[in-house]
Structure 1
Amino acid sequence: MSRYRELKFRAVTSFQRRIGNPILTRLPHQTLLETRGRKSGLPRRTPIGGRRIGREFWLVSEYGEKSQYVRNIQADPRVRVRVKGRWYTGTAHLVPQDDARARLRTLPRLNSTAVRVVGTNLLTVRVDLTD
């Protein structure tokens, strides 16, 4: 990774971890992804943007396999997604063969724009919902 991309990654993730995520996770209608911490085993909630399409929920990770929630999915793909205040359980799948930029065009515009601007290694994630 180039020095610029590494600095960008550190700045954005630091902001998200310290300021953005603590605020957004408290908003009642913010879409959240809950994974299980790969080391602690504790639930980890991450504000995300994405869209439910039938029995699937689609999102794009801006940092691919470098994102902590993606690493948690790799360790345990069982997740929960909160959409419009309601929790759904499901199984997450990384979809590297998907065109993440094209996928962003089908997802909510504001989040998709932010992901395109700050992202350095886009990766599509599909959650197969079970309830």
Structure 2
Amino acid sequence: MVNADFQHRWVTAFQRTIGNPVARRLPIQTLLETTGRVSGQARRTPLGGARRGDSFWFVSEFGTRSQYIRNIQADNRVRVRLRGHWYTGTAHLLPEDDAKARMRELPRANSAVVGAVGTDLLTVRVDLDTGRA
């Protein structure tokens, strides 16, 4: 069994140096933009999830250990890029939600990766403002 701290360090190092820089450049990749809680700069994180009506749902693989989740805790106003279009919204952390059940409603490929590498799953709902950013 892999130690959760080691797994977190390994996965986040891969994401930071290889995965995220490549994924951010893909025009179809969904992106979450938060405001850095220390820097105040825009931080863009590639992720997977699904829009349901006026909400966008996703599951964070490392919960409150994820930097973008910490940014949301400091300022929950975010932007989400869906299919090449930016939307503003308000993010809500939902620790009471069954993240594993939620992943069954989200895109399979992303949910499989999140489920395989995640150690502290956390559901997030972004209530999208009407119109685009």
Category of TM-score, reference length = shorter chain: over 0.9
Counterparts of 2:2 and 2:74, CA distance in 1: 28
Aligned to 1:42: 41
> Structure 2 counterpart of 1:54, which letter?
G
Q: Give the secondary structure class of the aligned counterpart of 2:13.
A: helix
Tell me the matched-pair count: 130
Cα distance between partner residues in 2 of 1:124 and 1:10: 21
Q: What is the CA–CA distance in structure 2 between the aligned matches of 1:69 and 1:108, rounded to whole Å?
A: 20
Aligned sequence identity (%): 65
Find the counterpart in structure 2 of residue 56 from structure 1: 55
Partner of 1:92: 91
The CA RMSD over aligned residues, in Å, is: 1.1
| Alignment partners' CA distance in 1, 2:6 and 2:64 | 17
Moved over 6 A (4+): none
Cross-structure match for 2:110:
111
Q: Which runs of 5+ in 2 are unaligned?
A: none
Question: Which amino acid is 1:76 matched to?
Answer: D
- DSSP-derived class of the 2:105 partner: coil
Instruction: For 1:11-26, list aligned pairs within 5 A.
Output: 11-26=10-25
- TM-score, normalising length: structure 1: 0.97
